[in-house]
Structure 1
Amino acid sequence: MLARDIMNKKVLSISPDHSVSHAARTMLEARISGLPVSDDRGRLIGMLSEGDLLRRAELGLAAWDGTGRAGAKPEAFIKGHSWRVGDVMTQPVVTVDEDVPLGRVAELMAAKRIKRIPVMRGEEMVGIITRSDILRTIAASGPDVVAAGDEAVRRAVLARLCSDLGLDRGSIDVTIEHGNVNLWGEVNSETLREAARVAAETISGAGGVRNRLRIVGN
């Protein structure tokens, strides 16, 4: 699945010359926690999020005495007091191309600690992906579907164990008994043993999973 497959194509954006209070009202009315900021040519130049508004003077958290001491820097004063979105927004913007795999989008969100990523086609913003979009994708997903029959399930489970977990085909085996998947062989850790169980459970048609894998040395 790619970024373009789940992105929201109707993107609400705001001008850097809009007021911070207008931006806050817009986010509340649209029930969103962030806005892309675009210039008068439609180019994406920043992002304004709830996080950018947490140290505003209106909240009594942005006092500055002009000394430039740690915690009271001019940059913080600007972000806390300016009425312009352009002064408060976050730059540069983390973006992804529309053909980027969804897994990479999720990795960026986790690594950058951000809740939304604009989706680009060249220099044009064509959509946006939020954490909620990722969650909806997870909620709608199900186990992999494989052909019916014990042997088909057995081969699918073996393939998953070897390809995803890197287990040695010579050290493991899978059998099917009364619709249940039995995992046999040896692994080198409890974590890998549990990962094997999870991998088997992702295969549609696999009934109960009996994890008979042994940990080497135990």
Structure 2
Amino acid sequence: MKLWRVDDVMTRDVVAVEVGTPYRTVVDLLVGRRISAVPVVDRSQRVVGIVSEADLLHKVEAPGTVRPWFRFSRRRRAEDAKAAGRTVENVMTAPVVTILPSQSVAAAARRMHDVKVKRLPVEDDLGRLIGIVTRSDLLKIHLCSDSDIRRDVTDEVLPHVLGAPGATVRVETRDGVVTLRGRVHVRAAAQRIVSLAGQVPGVVDVTDELTYDVDDSIFVGSDRGMPFGVA
């Protein structure tokens, strides 16, 4: 079963700017390339920030506005400073949240959610920019075909749990939804199959129609174990 990593879905031909790049140059770049943000790097290609449409829009929202510093919050003063900015250094967001190419797509999705960002610059072990991954890039795992998903569940999940080909477990896939039917020996095996099937790249949901001979949950906490197996 393929474990999708950031370097499987990221954009490698990434456009970047340096801190001294003029504001207007960044606007031209975003509009011309039809992108919504660019990483900011130093002369060694290390990531030092990111500048997005949201950063640039402060100048559109409040052109030339000057407010008494004591009347507004720190956030408002930072927004006003960006509105007055002339170069990337004045308008970029820093520090920036990044990710390594070896991390999983799931880890990237969690990080985006936790820090509430739409994209993550990808850097190598030295902090140098090597790509960028966006929310739409992460959705590429759901481009897996139903046949690929079924093969992963049948060839990777079932033997791992049952210890032998799962002849009594039938796998059907449609539009990314996996349906599991059949009979196994113990309840824990059925639950493990469902859990692992849900982790297969491309799976949208799992319909559990498995049955079992023994409810081994009653032995949890005791020294009486029940082996996994096929009925």
TM range (shorter): 0.5 to 0.7
Query: Conserved in 2, the CA contact under 8 Å of 1:46 and 1:89?
Result: yes
Of 60, 66, 69, which aligns to 2:62?
60
**Normalization by structure 2: what TM-score?**
0.63
Query: Conserved in 2, the CA contact under 8 Å of 1:16 and 1:86?
Result: yes
Query: Conserved in 1, the CA contact under 8 Å of 2:9 and 2:140?
Result: no
Q: Deviations over 1:12-64 (max 9, x none)?
A: 0012111222212211111111101112332221101122233x233337833
Q: Deviations over 1:119-153 (max 9, x none)?
A: 111222111111121112222365241587xxx89
2:129 corresponds to: 125
Q: Deviations over 1:73-131 (max 9, x none)?
A: 43222111112111110111111122112211111111111121111112221111111
1:181 corresponds to: 181
Of 19, 22, 30, which aligns to 2:22?
19
Percent identity reads 23
Query: Conserved in 2, the CA contact under 8 Å of 1:79 and 1:88?
Result: yes
- Structure 1: tracts of 5 or more residues without a match: 161-173, 188-192, 214-218
Relative distance call for 1:26 and 1:181 in structure 2 (3 A) is: same
- Confirm or deny that 1:28 pairs with 2:35: no
Relative distance call for 1:30 and 1:181 in structure 2 (3 A) is: same
- Confirm or deny that 1:85 pairs with 2:111: no
RMSD (Å) for aligned C-alpha atoms: 4.0
- Structure 2: tracts of 5 or more residues without a match: 173-179, 213-231
Relative distance call for 1:34 and 1:65 in structure 2 (3 A) is: same
1:129 maps to amino acid: V
Query: Conserved in 2, the CA contact under 8 Å of 1:46 and 1:90?
Result: yes
- Confirm or deny that 1:145 pairs with 2:166: no
**Normalization by structure 1: what TM-score?**
0.66
2:99 corresponds to: 96
Aligned length: 188
Query: Conserved in 2, the CA contact under 8 Å of 1:16 and 1:38?
Result: yes
1:43 maps to amino acid: R
